[in-house]
């Protein structure tokens, strides 16, 4: 959430930011209206408490003078009752205020280009050589079905559309990717591996920004629990309601989780294959950092995700998202897009974002520079390192051969028991 002081002192700045992102600027007006009610109620309560405190000091004087205190006590009780009523109403107003602020997205960093949608994203760099096969490249889902390593039909039989069964060397390749990604991030990039719960409370999803705005994209279970849409949610909440020792920053975590998403808005080709599944595997990297270094940390986090694609020798590009394509909680995002030969275009495989203190305010994650220092909000960052299913799909397409077989990237051969190809 945004700093309430910013919303109060610079509402026009926030409104401009919302317009650039394609959001309704009246969200600020709604917050302001409720905030005015909240502040007036707080002032009234403080005034009544001051009145009660002043009168309470008269009681010992009256008693010392052996005067009757009954009238004053009755008056104080009346004031106390009024305070209790106003405080109860203030709780409801506070909930309304929080709810209003929860729907206001983060403010984009000044370096983020203004644009209405993905067509306005800016390419930063490319890496790798795009292979030009002598045959017409097939899509990954067709390759996987013909090799017998993917079965959409069996997935649909078990759970419905947009679920897939990985079989044989396909299952082995998926696990090889997950383990390879974990090893690179822990052994080479210095991340601490954690295995979080795959379910979270609603409070956790509020903390990272999925709730309340994006509830339709989540799978809700009983007891107000949600299946994790990404490891970002449980891992970021490891430090919810904590004050971190500043000397321990940056804290860097890597976690594998299955991810569960309804993908309510997806359509067309994306509903086939592994691009937009309701369940998929992902390795996530998450950072908690000191605010002044967070944009340097974003560059290094992005490089850490890129290293996976480089080691797999998959051609990709890095794009900076414009304001209209930026995620709700992010202040700045780089997307990594890997090359898909069958479509003759790049497809997103990772988003690396700096949320500044937006998530930290929602989840109450702070740090102290020293024991005497005032607590400050950390900056949080995360990125896919990477989405295993999409990486699987990219390997099938980029390493396919004319005879229908698929070569195994050299970096994965040790994880595949020495297998060099799937045929």
Q: DSSP secondary-structure letter at 10?
A: -
Residue 398 pLDDT > 60: yes
Whether 108 is in a domain gets the answer: no
Residue 269 has a pLDDT of: 57
pLDDT tens string 179-226: 999 999 999 999 999 999 999 999 999 999 999 999 999 999 988 899
Angstrom CA distances, 328 to 125, 172, 214, 238, stand at 24, 35, 10, 21
Provide the mean pLDDT of the chain: 95
For the domain that residue 125 is a member of, what is the CATH number?
3.30.930.10
Task: Tell me, yes or no, whether 330 and 253 share the same domain.
Answer: yes
Residue 52 has a pLDDT of: 85
- CA separation for the pair 140, 166 (Å, rounded): 13
Residue 267 has a pLDDT of: 60
Residues 215-239 have a mean pLDDT of 95
Task: Tell me, yes or no, whether 150 and 71 share the same domain.
Answer: no
Task: Tell me, yes or no, whether 78 and 123 share the same domain.
Answer: no
Residues near 64 by Cβ (< 8 Å), separated by ≥ 6? none
pLDDT tens string 296-339: 999 999 999 999 999 999 999 999 999 999 999 999 999 999 99
User: Catalytic amino acids?
Assistant: 261, 276, 348, 351, 390
Residues near 242 by Cβ (< 8 Å), separated by ≥ 6? 364, 365, 366
Whether 110 is in a domain gets the answer: no
Q: 124-150: string of b/e by CB count within 10 Å (b at 16+)?
A: eeeebeeeeeeeebbbbbbbbbebebb
Whether 112 is in a domain gets the answer: no
**51, 72, 102: which is the final residue of a domain?**
102
Task: Tell me, yes or no, whether 79 and 128 share the same domain.
Answer: no
- Residue 180 main-chain phi, psi, to 5 deg: -60, -45
Residue 79 has a pLDDT of: 87
Count: domains in the chain: 2
Whether 199 is in a domain gets the answer: yes
Residue 67 pLDDT > 90: no
Which residues form the domain of 77?
Answer: 4-102
Q: How confident is residue 74, by pLDDT bands cut at 50, 70 and 90?
A: confident
pLDDT tens string 347-376: 999 999 999 999 999 999 999 999 999 999
Whether 113 is in a domain gets the answer: no
**Count of residues for the chain?**
423
Task: Tell me, yes or no, whether 80 and 225 share the same domain.
Answer: no
**44, 71, 102: which is the final residue of a domain?**
102
Task: Tell me, yes or no, whether 46 and 137 share the same domain.
Answer: no
**75, 102, 129: which is the final residue of a domain?**
102
C-beta of residue 381 within 8 angstroms of C-beta of residue 332: no
Residue 61 pLDDT > 80: no
CB atoms within 10 A of CB 19: 13
| Percent of the chain topping pLDDT 90 | 89
Task: Tell me, yes or no, whether 236 and 283 share the same domain.
Answer: yes
């Amino acid at each position: 959430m945004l700093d309430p002081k910013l919303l109060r002192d610079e509402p026009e700045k926030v409104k401009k930011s919302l317009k650039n992102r394609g959001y309704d600027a009246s969200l600020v007006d709604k917050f302001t209206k409720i905030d005015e009610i909240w502040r007036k109620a707080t002032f009234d309560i403080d005034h009544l408490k001051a009145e009660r405190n002043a009168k309470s000091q008269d009681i010992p004087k009256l008693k010392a003078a052996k005067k009757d205190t009954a009238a004053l006590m009755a008056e104080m009780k009346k004031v106390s009752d009024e305070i209790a009523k106003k405080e109860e109403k203030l709780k409801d107003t506070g909930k309304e205020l929080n709810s209003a602020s929860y729907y206001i997205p983060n403010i984009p960093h000044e370096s983020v280009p203004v644009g209405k949608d993905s067509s306005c994203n800016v390419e930063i760099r490319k890496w790798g050589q795009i292979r030009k096969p002598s045959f017409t490249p097939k899509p990954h889902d067709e390759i996987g079905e013909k090799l017998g390593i993917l079965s959409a039909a069996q997935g649909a039989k078990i759970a419905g559309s947009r679920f897939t069964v990985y079989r044989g060397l396909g299952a082995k390749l998926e696990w090889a990717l997950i383990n390879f990604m974990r090893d690179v991030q822990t052994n080479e990039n210095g991340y601490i591996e954690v295995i979080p719960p795959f379910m979270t409370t609603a409070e956790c999803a509020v903390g990272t920004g999925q709730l309340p705005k994006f509830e339709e994209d989540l799978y809700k279970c009983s007891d107000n629990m949600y299946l994790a849409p990404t490891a970002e949610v449980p891992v970021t909440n490891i430090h919810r309601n904590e004050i971190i020792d500043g000397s321990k920053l940056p804290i860097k975590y890597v976690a594998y989780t299955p991810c569960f998403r309804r993908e309510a808005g997806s359509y067309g080709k994306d509903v086939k294959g592994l691009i937009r599944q309701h369940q998929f595997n992902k390795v996530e990297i998450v950072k908690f950092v000191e605010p002044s270094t967070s944009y340097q940390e974003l560059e290094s986090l992005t490089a850490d995700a890129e290293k996976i694609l480089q080691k797999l020798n998959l051609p990709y590009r890095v794009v900076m998202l414009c304001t209209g394509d930026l995620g709700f909680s992010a202040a700045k995002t780089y997307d990594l897009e890997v090359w898909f030969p069958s479509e003759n275009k790049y497809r997103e495989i990772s988003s690396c974002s700096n949320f500044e203190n937006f998530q930290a305010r929602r989840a109450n994650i702070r740090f102290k520079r020293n024991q005497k220092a005032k607590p400050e909000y950390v900056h949080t960052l995360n990125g896919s390192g990477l989405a295993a299913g999409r990486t699987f799909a990219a390997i099938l397409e980029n390493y396919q051969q004319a005879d229908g077989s698929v070569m195994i990237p050299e970096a994965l051969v040790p994880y595949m028991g020495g297998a060099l190809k799937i045929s």
